[in-house]
Amino acid sequence: MYLHGAHVTSWRPADHDEVLFLSTKSRWQEGHAIRGGVPICFPWFRAKADDPQAPAHGFVRTRMWQLESIVESDAGVVVTMFTESDEQSRRWWPAQFRLAHRATFGSELRLELVCSNTGTTPLRFEEALHTYNRVADVANLHLQGLDGTRFRDNTDSNNEKRQLHDIVIASQMDNAFLDTQSAVDIVDPELRRRIRLQKSNSLTTVVWNPWREGSARMQDLGDGEWRQFLCVEASNIMESAVTLEPGEKHTMTALLSVTKL
């Protein structure tokens, strides 16, 4: 886990291989997000609606966070980092806030994103834990838990559609599944494992892979590496954006676990 973006880049529980994908071409530079692991999207998702010059997915994933604590618990090692509003953040977003990321590394990976409104006016934000799950081949797996769910297809002008059956990936996918609170499983027959995402205080689940065409435009992704990951993201975006009154706090939690098939 790095101070740069409070970014988790690796989780390898006992008796399992690495669960998170990390690009071999990732730019380890100030001003650039790490490609892979779990980037934090906040306070907007994708492009900022009223400012095309603003950084995509918000500004916290490229900020230097501060370390609050590292402690041991029954669940594992708990690392907490935080960032707060300042002159730099107000350039893009006027709100006063404190954002903490608490990651528990153990037999499960628990990620908690905690936003506090430290100002005197309401604030509204989008958020996502943009998890890159490592897979053997994104074209040879299926995703369970979203059958029957409505979604917005960002590859088709965000038109609303409905998922039928398990998800299989056969082309570029950028879907935001709506009103989702249930667990989602990546079933990977080649790696003989199941990665499960459980979440709380999250009403949207984003599923993303750029496929061959999208990855060709990404300089921080190696040749063919698009096959090695599938992003399944606990999030609150679009109409599920969160509004906090002054003094209020919101915690979104993503819990990752892995089992053998």
Domain layout of the chain by residue ranges: 40-135+199-260
Task: List the catalytic residue out of 130, 160, 225, 250.
Answer: 130
Mean pLDDT of the chain: 96
Ranges of beta strands (E only) in 118-192 are: 123-125, 127-129, 132-134, 142-144, 150-153, 159-162, 173-178, 184-188
Per-residue pLDDT at 30: 87
Per-residue pLDDT at 62: 95
First to last CA, the chain: 28
Is 130 among the residues known to form the active site?
yes
Task: List the catalytic residue out of 87, 233, 245, 248.
Answer: 233
Per-residue pLDDT at 52: 86
Amino acid at 204: T
220 phi, psi to nearest 5 deg: -100, 25
DSSP 8-state assignment for residue 30: T
174-227 pLDDT, tens digit each: 999 999 999 999 999 999 999 999 999 999 999 999 999 999 999 999 999 999
Per-residue pLDDT of the chain (261 residues; tens, 9 = 90+): 999 999 999 999 999 999 999 999 998 988 899 999 999 999 999 999 889 889 999 999 999 999 999 999 999 999 999 999 999 999 999 999 999 999 999 999 999 999 999 999 999 999 999 999 999 999 999 999 999 999 999 999 999 999 999 999 999 999 999 999 999 999 999 999 999 999 999 999 999 999 999 999 999 999 999 999 999 999 999 999 999 999 999 999 999 999 999
Sign of CA dihedral 24, 169, 12, 60: positive
Task: Determine whether domain 40-135+199-260 maps to CATH 2.70.98.10.
Answer: yes
* % of the chain with per-residue pLDDT over 90: 96
Quote the distance between the C-alpha of residue 168 and its chain's center.
20
Instruction: Name, in order, each residue with C-beta under 8 angstroms of 213's C-beta and a sequence gap of 6 or more.
Output: 172
Is 112 among the residues known to form the active site?
no
Residue 169 neighbours by CB distance under 10 Å = 20
Amino acid at 165: H
- Mapping DSSP onto H, E and C, the string for 55-110 reads CCCECHHHCECEEEEEEEECCEEEEEEEEECCHHHHCCCCCCEEEEEEEEECCCEE
Residue with tokens 């040879």: 140
88: buried, middle or exposed (CB in 10 Å: 19+, 13-18, 0-12)?
exposed
